[in-house]
Amino acid sequence: MNTVTSYKRIEILDTTLRDGAQGEGISFSVQDKLAIVRALDELGVRWIEAGNPGSNPKDMEFFQRAAKLKLEHAELAAFGSTRKKGVPVAEDRQVQSLLSANTGAVVIFGKSWDIHVTEILRVTLEENLAMIGETIAFLKQNGRAVIFDAEHFFDGYAANPGYALSTVKTALASGADRIVLCDTNGGGFPDAIARVVEEILYALGGGSREAEHEKGSSPPPVEAPGAVLGVHLHNDAGMATASTLMAIKAGCSHIQGTLLGFGERCGNAALAEIIPSIELKLMYRCIADGKLEHLFSIARAVAEISNVAVPDSMPYIGASAFSHKAGMHADGILKVSRSFEHVEPYTVGNSRRFLMSEVGGRSAIAERVRKIDPLVTKDHPAIAALAAKLKALEAEGWQFEGADGSFEIMARQELGKYQPLFAIAAYRVVSEHPARDVAAYCHAWAKVLVDGQQEIAAAEGDGPVNALDGALRGALTRFYPQLSQVRLTDYKVRVIDGKDATAAKVRVLIESTDGVRTWTTVGVSTDIIDASHIALTDAIEYKIIMDIERRFKAYL
């Protein structure tokens, strides 16, 4: 019989393509799934749980096409359930579909909470054990590595510990290569998760961690072969990341989650948060060597494919993870980085940001401006002028801490390093409602001047800002073809002072991307279209400036 062991290297199974696909608003095409597999393989995770071939034709098509991929680090795993009640395992269509997926590994989930066995599956406790054991044994006989997900294990262990334990013992005796304890309802607390992991390790022959080594030290490597114990945790109580890390400290060697944390209900454990903590804090290895510094870019690639935004506040890879606003913080960071940062941003591919505001201080402003002119110090006259301008504009409702593009244009103006690239001579935006049962119709036209040449363009849009964006870029693309690569990824409107009702000023923030970089610009006005026009103009201008500078640096 196998025993469960712990290793200093932690296995990662990413289930973005299976459990993540069950998240609200997530829908992957076959091409999307193939692209995400390549990204996860580049990161160097051990397993990619890629879907349920028995659930829909799209997943089966994916597995057929995925068989042609040449993966460097990861191995694909198909996902499915134990055989159905009363059906011989060799005749179960769902089990046969797992073999048809032709993956080297299969993830099988089985019930470990007795209430699910008797009230949901409506089988006897003994029949459920037979379903688990026969399915795993059959897949092993057909040459598959088997990862057994003990569904609802922590709730089941609390309700009936003897039966929950018998499900994983059955899986282990039947040849399972990994035993995974699932907090399917996501309500577990980190200390409870860790306690149960230690108890199960001991019960399955992994020994007592407290007896083998002092608390707080790394678990010793175990040379003897055996199944690996893991966890699969959901985030319904907001503790999936903490619980996963505690499970590792308790002895788990295999963890499951989705890269960005999205999934059923409140989502899964977020691997983009967990992986850096494993490698930088616990000092274990869990992905391919040298890949941690690519985490930021790979996470964003997966987000782009998934059509979701990475939360700014997400640890390690969020835009705000290494952002500093207070002047004292900025000054401290510039002197000793660890004074206000728990790790260096570059270790995960992120970068430090100093947020521009009236409380930021001259040191933070100078640090940002050095991207434009490396010789600028906090005593430069332009820094004092920028600090005063920030205070004056923020008093009027402007906000630059999230508008890096607009701030950089303003900084260039103060430094004398700004030259207008175009002028908008005129524009018009019209919204019409032809009939009650017809959607609003918006169109815009814009006249631009570039080096004395005039261009006029018109566009229709889903709304007035979309139409204006199309008209401006349509007119300017003749002079700057690279603008065809740009698209808006976010648009936010904030009423600055609600007491003025419809006459209030509004602040518009626009996020743009060219597929490689992302930048944000801001506009403020009592006219929402005018505020949008200001932010759009900055967004276009920033893109052109960045491209000019990139070509200049390449020439040098």
CA 332 distance to own-chain centroid: 29
Rounded to whole angstroms, the Cα distance separating 187 from 172 reads 26
Name the nearest CA neighbour of 464 among 440, 484, 486: 440
Q: What is the pLDDT of residues 415-428, one digit of tens each?
A: 998 888 999 999 99
pLDDT of residue 397: 85
pLDDT of residue 494: 86
pLDDT of residue 499: 58
pLDDT of residue 372: 87
* Strand ranges for 82-174 from DSSP E: 105-111, 145-151
Name the percent of the chain lying above pLDDT 70.
88
Beta strand 441-450 with 453-461: parallel, antiparallel or unpaired?
Answer: antiparallel
In this prediction, residue 366 has a pLDDT band, given cuts at 50, 70 and 90, of confident
Name the nearest CA neighbour of 488 among 246, 341, 266, 309: 309
pLDDT of residue 199: 95
Run of H or E residues at 230:
strand 227-233
pLDDT higher at 220 or 262: 262
Provide the residue type at 270 as one letter.
A
In this prediction, residue 223 has a pLDDT band, given cuts at 50, 70 and 90, of very low
**Which residues make Cβ contacts (< 8 Å) with residue 133, sequence separation at least 6?**
170, 171, 173, 174
Provide the residue type at 392 as one letter.
A
164 pLDDT more than 60:
yes
**Facing residues of 47 across strands?**
13, 75
User: Which domains, and CATH codes, for the chain?
Assistant: 4-288 (3.20.20.70), 323-415 (no CATH), 423-555 (3.30.160.270)
502 pLDDT more than 80:
no
pLDDT of residue 206: 66
Rounded to whole angstroms, the Cα distance separating 75 from 335 reads 44
407 pLDDT more than 80:
yes
pLDDT of residue 226: 58
Name the nearest CA neighbour of 78 among 61, 45, 58, 102: 102
Residue 75: CB atoms within 10 A of its CB come to: 16
* Strand ranges for 374-474 from DSSP E: 423-432, 441-450, 453-461
Rounded to whole angstroms, the Cα distance separating 94 from 47 reads 21
Q: How many residues does the chain have?
A: 556
